[in-house]
């Protein structure tokens, strides 16, 4: 039944070439007429639309022409100022009701040598945005009755050296476990040896680093949590994390340019660069997955966004649990769900997002579920300004008090 539902949903996402071409022609002709007609004083205020705008989902009728042009021109002006071509290197996509209203792929796979132009099929390292996939895979297994969020880790890892830590604590970053990114070198890990997920688990047994705080007491963002979640996915599903994600999420959603990185992907993986075009070399932490290491495109991420509405891949109950806050020890409007950052606004709105940053790759994935809008920015050349993308949320609703985002 689930595979049938997945097939139905995937079918809904398939574009009709004829429909899209007709739509492109309609928008282009309409814009040409409205922008070039002489004698109309209002024509000067109407900027022509980028004819490369494309749709990923077949929702041609979901927006009026006026709405489409308003969103497109507003996004073009906004991103033209904060992430202009020549400075920004990456992909930007904004969609409303599944319809792409703005899309731009600018720069090169190697910005230093200016080689190989980025395209809509160029997959970027999502960094911590990968956590949204790991979390939802766990929730999918729970939805299928294959695990429980209150299961303790000792159920999956024999003799686990920390008592009382549950899957839910991992998902919500309340486990108290130390971050492997920090403690491995402290315990003299040989940095000439690549770290695997199994190594991270083993290090908790052999080094037994102390907890950062008593489990369940409060929130602290920690990559170790999601490394262990990836291992639990493998134990429960009986297949490698890479295969599970491909078979149960990427392929059903037709995310054909998305994959989990492994050493075998070295030749196709997009390299990352510092702001000054210095290329990051491969390092000993670069093959660990679950907390990072999913590569995807902006268009594929739109498919992921559209899957995260009730009745598509997940039930409303599952999504409600993912998008609820679990840490209220500190005052403020920020919180963390099950694999999702969120901001609760005084006007009742809830902004869902996750950012990523690994080496030179930094990413933004913002979901405005009240408005069915999504904002996606992916880059392989570090640029801190991508985190100001939050300011365009006000194009779709009243998000003026959203505040700064956690990187």
Distance CA 255, CA 250 (A): 5
Q: How many C-beta neighbours within 10 Å does residue 134 have?
A: 28
Nearest to 401 by CA among 325, 345, 337, 324: 345
What residues are paired with 270 via a beta bridge?
none
Distance CA 209, CA 238 (A): 29
- Asked if residues 298 and 120 have their Cβ atoms less than 8 Å apart, the reply is yes
Query: 207-245: per-residue pLDDT in tens?
Result: 999 999 999 999 999 999 999 999 999 999 999 999 999
pLDDT value of position 331 = 85
Query: 156-203: per-residue pLDDT in tens?
Result: 999 999 999 999 999 999 999 999 999 999 999 999 999 999 999 999
pLDDT value of position 62 = 81
- Asked if residues 314 and 331 have their Cβ atoms less than 8 Å apart, the reply is no
pLDDT value of position 49 = 38
| Backbone dihedral angles phi then psi of residue 355, each to the nearest 5 degrees | -105, 165
- Asked if residues 222 and 177 have their Cβ atoms less than 8 Å apart, the reply is yes
pLDDT value of position 311 = 93
Nearest to 167 by CA among 191, 140, 188, 194: 140
Distance CA 350, CA 402 (A): 9
CA atoms within 13 A on the CB side of 60: 14
Residue whose entry in the numeric block shows the structure tokens 């991508």: 386
pLDDT value of position 400 = 73
pLDDT value of position 3 = 43
What residues are paired with 373 via a beta bridge?
96, 368
pLDDT value of position 395 = 95
- Asked if residues 333 and 403 have their Cβ atoms less than 8 Å apart, the reply is yes
Residues of the chain with pLDDT under 70: 1-61, 401-407
Distance CA 259, CA 253 (A): 13
């Amino acid at each position: 039944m689930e595979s049938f539902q997945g097939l139905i949903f995937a079918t809904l996402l398939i574009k009709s070439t004829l429909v899209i071409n007709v739509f492109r022609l309609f928008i282009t002709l309409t814009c040409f007429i409205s922008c070039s007609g002489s004698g109309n004083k209002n024509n000067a205020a109407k900027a022509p639309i980028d004819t490369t705008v494309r749709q990923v989902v077949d929702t041609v009728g979901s927006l009026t022409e006026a709405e489409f042009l308003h969103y497109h021109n507003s996004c073009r002006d906004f991103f033209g100022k904060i992430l202009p071509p020549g400075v920004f290197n990456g992909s930007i996509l904004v969609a409303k009701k599944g319809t792409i209203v703005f899309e731009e792929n600018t720069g090169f796979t190697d910005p230093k040598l200016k080689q190989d132009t980025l395209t809509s099929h160029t997959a970027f390292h999502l960094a911590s945005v990968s956590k949204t996939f790991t979390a939802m895979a766990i929730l999918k297994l729970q939805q299928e009755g294959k695990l429980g969020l209150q299961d303790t880790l000792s159920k999956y890892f024999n003799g686990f050296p920390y008592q009382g830590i549950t899957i839910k604590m991992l998902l919500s970053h309340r486990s108290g476990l130390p971050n492997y990114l920090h403690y491995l070198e402290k315990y003299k890990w040989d940095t000439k040896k690549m770290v695997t997920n199994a190594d991270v688990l083993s290090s908790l047994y052999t080094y037994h680093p102390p907890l950062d705080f008593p489990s369940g007491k409060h929130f602290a963002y920690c990559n170790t949590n999601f490394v262990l979640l990836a291992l639990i996915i493998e134990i429960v599903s009986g297949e490698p994390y890479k295969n599970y994600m491909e078979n149960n999420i990427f392929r059903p959603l037709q995310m054909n340019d998305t994959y989990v990185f492994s050493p075998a992907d070295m030749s196709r993986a997009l390299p990352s660069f510092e702001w000054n075009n210095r290329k990051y070399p491969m390092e000993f932490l670069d093959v660990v997955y679950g907390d990072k290491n999913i590569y995807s495109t902006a268009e594929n991420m739109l498919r992921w966004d559209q899957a995260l509405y009730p009745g598509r891949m997940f039930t409303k109950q599952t999504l409600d649990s993912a998008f609820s806050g679990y840490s209220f020890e500190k005052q403020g409007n920020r919180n963390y769900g099950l694999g999702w950052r969120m901001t609760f606004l005084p006007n009742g709105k809830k902004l869902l997002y996750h950012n990523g940053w690994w080496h030179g790759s930094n990413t933004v994935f913002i979901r405005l579920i009240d408005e069915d809008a999504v904002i996606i920015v992916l880059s392989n050349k570090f640029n801190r300004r991508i985190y100001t993308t939050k300011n365009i949320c006000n194009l779709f609703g009243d998000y003026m008090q959203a505040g700064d985002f956690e990187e």
